[in-house]
Chain A
């Protein structure tokens, strides 16, 4: 069966500066998207005249208006993965699918985010600030969760984290190691929002937000836009940078993973997981490789325990053993067996709903990363543990 394998490549990446929540004003989110798209095209050595597709996720934005503003000659593909941040890495797979199917040639995957009027930190609150766009509308399903006070993703993932602790003996020390390792990477990276080193003492002195998750287990709340350009492998070879070939991409999940943290009915077998297990299996099968072949892992880190669960679901360690695995230094750069979030992740660099992870994968494969994994050949990128779909991407150089 024909697959996406090695048929396309990421050829350009671009971003606005990363801002703390609200500090991107008076730019609009769509203006930032335009800036990121132009930067990514320029990075590839392409122009708007080459662009013919958009592949979005997490409710996206109005591509009609952006195409109108930029004067895109012919929009041949504009589509979006359903769901939320789970689709980040998969938006590149969507671009690859468009190209392989012949619907488009140069497709941009974009995220733009501005949390001035409203915050993802209150996504499921019953009423947001005036003008807020992220507060969840009432729903018959939400009635079974929201009256308990669970109205923030971090509170909800704390319930999964607690179950993981109970079932496998994971501790806050393990969450702490994720936070500290990720911050150590961010300290060396220009443009990261959190460049001060973080200590174990600071971690354990931080206020508890939703027990067992403290302040440093939570990602940042940011503004900014990130875009990446994907095109055919043949065309990629003539462009400015060494191509980052799309080895494989997959998205979805078990139906009974479903709405995940907004219903809590997932089967016990994978309740305390990232929801990624079936996606990981399909991903590796398409690529024809296994976790031992991955040189650097850019794992969606909205909350530190979810990095642990993805290490398990992507096979870097057995299910239930991610705590001791990180305690042994395995995710550290340099020197760990699988360096994780070498850019500082959502936790310490910036939270642009996971697209920064795609950028870092490309930089690692070009050999230009700030925290370069020596000789990196294969990079794994994941989208957020979230409701269906979750997604992933394998790139190689």
Chain B
């Protein structure tokens, strides 16, 4: 997979609220927490619904199709460990049907020049190591 960080700089630190997201990610499933009380989705997962303050949550599977809301092409290595991975396309992707929830990840295996705001993408998965998988995106031909 081209256009992702090397594994040594990806170290997740889930808590009780985010852990279900990462457990599903390890199974290559995208799940988004939805407030059981009022139906509002939220990302990242957090202890309270920002709309009704309920703590009750259900995890809803999402197909992972979305559109690029915004992005940057990282061309400078802030730390030496990322130098060989450049350029990196870091994108904010809006997930339809979630009330505007967004997911952040790399657009992989692409020419950065092909990436644009509004472009449709699908979610794919970068298996960083056993038990650690992060979402990435692929440009989708409409």
Contacts and interface: CB of A to CB of B under 8 A. Distances in A.
B112 to A, nearest CB: 7
A298 interface: no
B41 to A, nearest CB: 11
B70 A149 contact: no
Contacts of A325: none
B106 interface: yes
Interface stretch (A100-108, A230-238, A264-272): A264-272
Given A143-B13, A143-B14, A162 B104 contact: no
A207 B43 contact: no
B56 interface: no
B87 to A, nearest CB: 8
A121 B78 contact: yes
Contacts of A149: 5, 74, 82, 85, 88, 90, 106
Contacts of A240: none
B104 A144 contact: yes
A160 B92 CA distance: 10
B44 A158 contact: no
B9 interface: yes
A191 to B, nearest CB: 28
Contacts of B50: 255-256
Interface of B: 5, 9-15, 17-18, 22, 42-44, 50, 69-76, 78-79, 82, 85, 88, 90-92, 100-106, 112, 117-118, 126, 128, 134
6 contacts: A138-B11, A143-B18, A160-B70, A162-B71, A162-B117, A210-B73
Interface of A: 121-122, 125-128, 138-152, 155, 158-160, 162-163, 166, 207-213, 255-256, 263-265, 267-268, 271
Given A166-B70, A208-B73, 4 more contacts: A127-B79, A143-B18, A210-B72, A263-B44
